[in-house]
Structure 1
Amino acid sequence: MALALPACGLQPLYAGGGDGAVARGLADIEVPAIEGRAGWLVRNALIDRLGTSGQGSARYRLDIVLDDQLEGLGLLTDETIGRERRTLRARYQLVDVASDTVLLDATAGSDAGIDVVSSEYATVAAEERALENLALEVADRIVTRLSLELREP
């Protein structure tokens, strides 16, 4: 089975582990501050996943603009909202710092459903937890796309 894998053209994305091209490229990405609480959550998740050292100057910069929406759905018989949907979308650009060239311009996003309950505290806590989960999901999608972009041909 191991001999058949190279014949089909598949290549491991993270070949070489921490010394591979993808890992080195990801660690060489600077993530500037992103506006808002969602931005703070996404940036921290990205820094954790990229393995950015924070030392010296980075080869790449990742510019991100977020759109965080919370909308009410599912009206109940007393015309109160019974469910909400939180959507987090990111438009990001991977920029080569030396030449100021955009190497990748893409979007990533995810959404979550939230039950609105009689306790306002529980609803707010659910909205915040949904934002935290969405930030992690969006960061994972961005890192996956960046990994595909930075792999050796």
Structure 2
Amino acid sequence: MPLAGCGLQPLYAGGGSGVVARDIGAVAVSPIGGKAGYLVRNAVIDRLGAAGQSTARWRLDVRLDEKLTGMIVQPDNSVSRERSVMRARYQLVDLSSGAILLDTTADADAGIDVVSSEYAVIAAEQTAQENLAKDVANQIVIRVATRLRQLEAAGHRP
């Protein structure tokens, strides 16, 4: 069955001049505290293409929570595997009305092997944090783009 027959349209239909590409550049991302916040915010901005392209019509507010816990504890009480979890609660706010257009969460987790080299463990934790930030940012941008597309289809324009 052809896609046109089912009503399915690509999110980025129209390419660079399409609705989503046009609107997504008008999302301002509020500062997010901490190193992980810095990583998530920059990844979101990169994916939005919002680096000063147009006047903001929406604001994205993100609250980030990170947790690093020991998953596997050995008989000598040492940890041999950690779990790193990053969770973002975010809201898309219409700047003209103050209405919250999207209020949801994104999360990602990674397992980290704890080895005898402290440097290797620190490097693995940092790499996990960077990867989780990218993962969370991707989820946020997809949801924001989808919501902007839904608003456009419903005729809700600021």
Residue 52 of structure 1 aligns to a residue whose secondary structure is coil
Residue 135 of structure 2 aligns to a residue whose secondary structure is helix
Residue 20 of structure 2 aligns to a residue whose secondary structure is helix
Please say if 1:40 is aligned against 2:51: no
Shift of 1:5: 1.6
CA contact (8 A) 2:26 2:53 kept: no
Q: Within 5 Å, which residues of 2 pair with 1:1-153?
A: 4-54=2-52, 57-151=55-149, 152-153=152-153
Give the superposed CA RMSD.
1.1
* Shift in alpha-carbon separation, 1:56–1:23, aligned structure 2, 3 A: closer
Residue 22 of structure 1 aligns to a residue whose secondary structure is helix
Residue 137 of structure 2 aligns to a residue whose secondary structure is helix
CA distance in 1, matches of 2:55, 2:83: 39
Give structure 1 regions of 4+ aligned residues with deviation exceeding 3 angstroms. Answer: none
Structure 1 spans left out of the alignment, 5+ residues: none
CA distance in 2, matches of 1:116, 1:56: 45
Report the more deviating stretch, 122-131 or 49-58: 49-58
Number of residue equivalences: 151
Query: TM-score, normalised to structure 1's length?
Result: 0.95
**Equivalent AA in structure 1 for residue 78 of structure 2:** T
Residue 116 of structure 2 aligns to a residue whose secondary structure is coil
Structure 2 spans left out of the alignment, 5+ residues: 154-158
Shift of 1:55: 5.1
Residue 110 of structure 2 aligns to a residue whose secondary structure is strand
CA distance in 2, matches of 1:24, 1:134: 27
Shift of 1:26: 0.9
1:51-76: CA deviation from partner (whole Å, max 9, x where unpaired)? 00325630000000000110111011
1:97-121: CA deviation from partner (whole Å, max 9, x where unpaired)? 1111110001000000000000111
CA distance in 1, matches of 2:29, 2:122: 29
CA contact (8 A) 2:25 2:53 kept: no
Shift of 1:77: 2.4
